[in-house]
């Protein structure tokens, strides 16, 4: 596996995690593996994203898309510099099951980033504990996720990103 070849201070990870903090745990694992910094969407994140070599951007999935605050953040990014980015998410079903059902949870965010002239170097997703109705009645869905294995996969994903950058 090839390690990331961007300076760790140049890695900015912007994360909206509003349901159970699931995606934040993934973002923190990615930051710990790469020396990157985690931000919530907002002005500080926009400033940091303006200078970084690699931008990570992720949230939980809500009704088939990344969180609206993250989509708005992506839409506000400075365009036209052909920089590197990666996308991540957590969701109740996980990406594989969603794709089997014909859903692409990352599509909206990917389209925005491509329109802002970012190169999407990789995408990561895993399941995240979901207590949105009707799952609450049954004690939740994807209980225990992200688990140790998911977080290890997130770290491995970060370290393997260096291939394209
Ligand atoms: C209002 C709402 C809508 C959701 N919609 C979806 C969905 O469309 N597909 C899915 O797989 N999970 C869905 N989930 C589950 C979340 O994506 C999952 O719990 C995620 O890990 C939450 O991340 P967070 O804790 O970082 O906010 C939804 C959760 C909520 C609260």
pLDDT tens, residue order, the chain (165 aa):
345 556 555 899 999 999 999 999 999 999 999 999 999 999 999 999 998 999 999 999 999 999 999 999 999 999 878 899 999 999 999 999 999 999 999 999 999 999 999 999 999 999 999 999 877 777 788 999 999 999 999 999 999 986 445
Which residues, 6 or more positions from 159, have their beta carbon under 8 angstroms from its beta carbon? Answer: 1, 2, 3, 4, 33, 34
pLDDT at site 160: 92
Q: Which of 36, 33, 40 is nearest to 18 (CA)?
A: 40
Pair type for strands 54-62 and 65-66: antiparallel
Distance CA 15, CA 21 (A): 10
From the alpha carbon of 145, which atom of ligand 1 is closest? 21
Instruction: Please tell me the distance between residue 61's alpha carbon and the centre of ligand 1 in angstroms.
Output: 5
Which residue owns the Cα nearest ligand 1 atom 1? 62
pLDDT at site 74: 98
Instruction: Please tell me the distance between residue 141's alpha carbon and the centre of ligand 1 in angstroms.
Output: 10
Which CATH number describes the domain made up of 8-164?
Answer: 3.40.50.360
Asked if 90 and 26 touch (Cβ cutoff 8 Å), the reply is yes
pLDDT at site 2: 44
Which residue owns the Cα nearest ligand 1 atom 19? 130
Task: Please identify which residue in the block is written with the tokens 């998410």.
Answer: 89
């Amino acid at each position: 596996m090839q390690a990331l070849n961007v300076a760790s201070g140049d890695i900015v990870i912007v994360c909206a995690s509003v349901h159970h903090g699931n995606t934040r745990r993934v973002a923190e694992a990615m930051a710990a593996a790469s020396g990157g910094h985690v931000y919530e969407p907002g002005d500080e994140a926009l400033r940091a994203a303006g200078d970084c070599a690699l931008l990570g951007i992720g949230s939980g999935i809500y009704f088939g898309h990344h969180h609206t605050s993250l989509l708005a953040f992506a839409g506000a990014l400075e365009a036209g510099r052909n920089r590197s980015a990666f996308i991540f998410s957590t969701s109740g079903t996980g990406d594989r099951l969603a794709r089997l059902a014909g859903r692409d949870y990352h599509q909206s965010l990917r389209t925005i980033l491509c329109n802002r002239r970012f190169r999407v170097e990789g995408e990561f997703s895993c399941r995240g504990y979901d207590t949105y109705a009707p799952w609450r009645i049954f004690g939740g869905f994807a209980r225990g996720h992200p688990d140790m294995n998911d977080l290890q996969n997130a770290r491995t994903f970060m370290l393997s990103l260096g291939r394209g950058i």
